[in-house]
Amino acid sequence: MEYASVVADGDGYAEFSREQWRDLRKNTPLTLTEDELEDLRGVDDPIDLAEVTDIYLPLTRLLNLHFTGSRQRGAAVGAFLGEPGVHVPYVLGIAGSVAVGKSTTARLLHTLLARWPEHPRVDLVTTDSFLYPNKVLEERGIMHRKGFPESYDRRALVGFVADVKAGRAAVDAPVYSHLEYDIVPGASQTVRRPDILIVEGLNVLQPAPPDALAVCDYFDFSIYVDARVEDIRSWYVDRFHQLRRTAFSDPKSYFTHIADLSDAEATEFARNVWRDINEVNLVENIAPTRGRAGLILSKGSDHSVERVRLRRT
């Protein structure tokens, strides 16, 4: 099979059309049903089983091969140190904009990877869990910059992934409620020596400040979910209307006041939030990290992946 070698953001990538990438599935079986996909699908995300077959089955085959290679390298280091059998979790990072579909990608890979016999224990943690509580954001005057790099407890996030990577028996992460738009006091998610840990979030590919480590320093592989800004803007507004009709109507929702807006008012509100917050974060912080990813999924305006770029170096 022929593919085009391209250069993106200073790094060498092999680029595949959807058809070329689909051919790399080989004999990877489809282990997902339509009903299961419906449960994994994000709000207003039209992903179907054809997308799973064409894009995600080849991707899970690649990740399985990469996992196996990583495990072999870990065994070699363990043998050198006289520590055979040391379990080192494989860490996968998934980045991308708000509304681009990265959460669906993360949930889908979580399910598919756990069905490979080589790595049945797969955990998924989102960086939302490491946002500072709203009270802290308000005290610091950065509530309007929620989702920007400074709104996360970077040290806690890095420490969490470092502890998982080091093989600690049990590592706790905070829990974030999208309904209440805040960290849940006293709640935690416990990760217990997984074969694979998936870390999904807006800024997971951000480089570290001087003399510090970034969460991506612990990644074995990383994925960036990409699309044109104007398409993501449209998806964001559509998703906002869907949430207004569903989650925002819950009396417990932080955004319950938005449910009563007219369609025109809601559209204007969503466009302003996108323009003033999410697009700024995307352009200034998220998109510049795209070239750090091991693989880039590039979506078209219909939300389907049109091409895949895999770093060769």
Whether the Cβ atoms of residue 204 and residue 216 lie closer than 8 Å to each other: yes
Tokens read off for 251? 């009396």
Instruction: Give strand pairing partners of 200.
Output: 94, 126
Alpha carbon distance 219, 230 (integer Å): 30
pLDDT in tens, 258-269: 888 899 999 999
CA distances, 88 to each of 44, 81, 120, 166, 177 (Å): 37, 14, 14, 7, 30
Phi-psi group of 211: left, alpha or beta (phi > 0 → left; psi -120 to 50 → alpha; rest → beta): left
Whether the Cβ atoms of residue 196 and residue 111 lie closer than 8 Å to each other: no
Instruction: Give 298's DSSP letter.
Output: E
**11 falls in which pLDDT band (50, 70, 90)?**
low
Average pLDDT across the chain, whole number:
93
> 294-298: which pairs have CB atoms within 8 A and are 24 or more residues apart?
294/221, 294/222, 294/223, 295/59, 295/62, 295/221, 295/222, 295/223, 295/224, 296/8, 296/13, 296/223, 296/224, 296/226, 297/55, 297/105, 297/223, 297/224, 297/225, 297/226, 298/226, 298/227
Tokens read off for 75? 């065994």
**247 falls in which pLDDT band (50, 70, 90)?**
confident
Query: What is residue 49's predicted lDDT score, i.e. its pLDDT?
Result: 97
What is the percentage of the chain residues whose pLDDT exceeds 70?
A: 96
In the block, which residue shows the tokens 């006041």? 257
**52 falls in which pLDDT band (50, 70, 90)?**
very high
pTM confidence score: 0.94
CA distances, 168 to each of 34, 113, 163, 171, 192 (Å): 36, 22, 6, 7, 8
Whether the Cβ atoms of residue 256 and residue 181 lie closer than 8 Å to each other: no
Phi, psi (deg, nearest 5) at residue 66:
-65, -40
pLDDT in tens, 187-242: 999 999 999 999 999 999 999 888 899 999 999 999 999 999 999 999 999 999 99
